[in-house]
Amino acid sequence: RSPVPAPQALEDQYSPSRWSPRLDRDAVIQAHLAATAAGTQRARASAQTSLHVPYGDGEREKLDIYFPAEHCGTFPLLVYIHGGYWQCLSKDESGFAALPLVSQGVAVVAVGYDTAPKGHMDAMVLQVRRSLAFLVQQYSGIRGIFLCGHSAGAHLAAMVLSTDWTEYGVVPDIKGAVLVSGVYDLEPILHTYVNDALSMSREVAQRNSPMLCISPAVPAATGCEVLVAVAQHDSPEFRRQSQEYGQALRAAGWSVSLLDLAGVDHFDIIEKLSEESYVLTQVGEELLPSL
């Protein structure tokens, strides 16, 4: 394992907005909010939607579902889990990836979950797992599930890959996961401002670190393609985390591709999923079964 940087260096390493060459820190975050919100509005205007579908009783335990026009009740499903360092953003600006996908016959779900300080790490992981179990029970025509998460959402998607589904009464048919600029070891987060809202103990961080929860690939998992993507202008720590997690999954027998995307930062690496021509959109579409 690589040495952990000193505390102030860690603060910088885990502040993704400091690493963008495009804009200053506040501007890059504002631009991200604007881009994802605009993409979501476009998707809502052009897709058939079921918004705010409850998968549980909690205030934020809701899903936004974007259906393809011609689906006859059967479709592959992409489940998108938003980032925001487990403490901001929501499903409401997380439908931006739907536009190119629904036109390809794929349904897209944006998952809501309780962010900190209300939500605790254990609870968020549980909510995302429960949302998948709900979808499988609710829609019998799903032909394979694909996970996509960005930043903190990539962490939650990776935790879904480590789920013991026996407790849920269903086994989702997860065919692939696109993990974008994620955090897979929560230990360094304990020493940064990010934990102020999360209040994680070391035990909670360990229990919810995908890096420490990798199960050997069971036969079902060998058919699951995992794509670990990272941006050229992510911080060295974010890049290290992606590389080490991808290698650890591969060592456990999972099918993993590492994608290092040039010319993008922590934010536009995911925003561009609203564009048909974007490399990550196209790679994601290749992961989906031939429709």
List active site positions.
151, 234, 266
108 exposed, middle or buried (CB, 10 Å; 0-12, 13-18, 19+)?
Answer: buried
CB 218 within 8 A of CB 254: no
The dihedral of CA 114, 120, 123, 124: what is its sign?
A: positive
User: What number of CA atoms fall less than 13 Å from residue 234's CA on the CB side?
Assistant: 26
* Residue burial 263-277, b: 16+ Cβ < 10 Å; e: rest: ebbbbbbbbbbbbee
**174-180: strand order across its sheet:** 48-54, 62-67, 107-111, 75-81, 142-150, 174-180, 225-233, 255-265
CA atoms of 153 and 185, how far apart (whole Å):
13
The dihedral of CA 49, 50, 56, 60: what is its sign?
A: positive
End-to-end Cα spacing for the chain: 41
Helix (H, G, I), strand (E, B) or coil at 176: strand
